[in-house]
Amino acid sequence: MNAPRRATIFSNGSHQVLRIPRDFELSGREALIHKEGERLIIEPLSSQGLLEVLATLDPIDDSFPDIPDPAPEPVDL
């Protein structure tokens, strides 16, 4: 684990910005942020794979019609 370091906080318009030192750099372009008491917790958000996205969807209860699946016609070579 990295030793604690000081970070600079400044304002940018209506936002407060925290300058993160390079050795604490997060991967990706988004992060999840929340507070626990006076602590601010910042966690990187990894991009989800297709299986993770599909796992969040509700199951489909619709019934689908049977689709005939005839054998392919022979081809002369």
CA distances from 34 to 2, 25, 29, 41 (A): 21, 18, 17, 5
* The pLDDT value given to residue 1: 63
Report pLDDT digits (tens) over 16-47. Answer: 999 999 889 888 888 999 999 999 999 988 77
Total-model pTM: 0.51
**DSSP E strands, 1-74:** 8-12, 15-19, 31-36, 39-44
